[in-house]
Amino acid sequence: MDEETIYSDNDVSVSTSRIVVRGTTYALRNISSVRMTTTPARRGCAIALIIAGAIWAFAIIGSKGGVAGAVILGGLTIAAGVFWFRAAKDDYHVTIASNSGEVHAHTSKNQGYIRKIVDAVNDAIVRYR
């Protein structure tokens, strides 16, 4: 059976006999399945910053510090927390399963890119067998 390339980019190459990810080769015959998995972004610190900004804003208003001070200190802190929260992105993984366990073969914040690789590996598995 001749080896046919199904997908290729700068980091990943998928063929009918192997997958190469940043220099690491996985033999297709050893792969039992592939799937996309997700690691959620850590947003706890961003939420804490939003809460701290709200507390500061209410504390300044409560201590007769004025609305201007509350808007400046609390508002900027809340805005920074919201920006941080929205900027945090999930990690998507190409997860390969074999007899020796599962491995995150490739990771990206681009879900479509990871989906394309997973689909190519699934296609390779179907063609191999």
pLDDT tens across 42-65, in order? 999 999 999 998 888 877 776 666
Report d(CA 81, CA 49) in Å as an integer. 5
Indicate whether 38 pLDDT > 70. Answer: yes
What does pTM read for this prediction?
Answer: 0.76
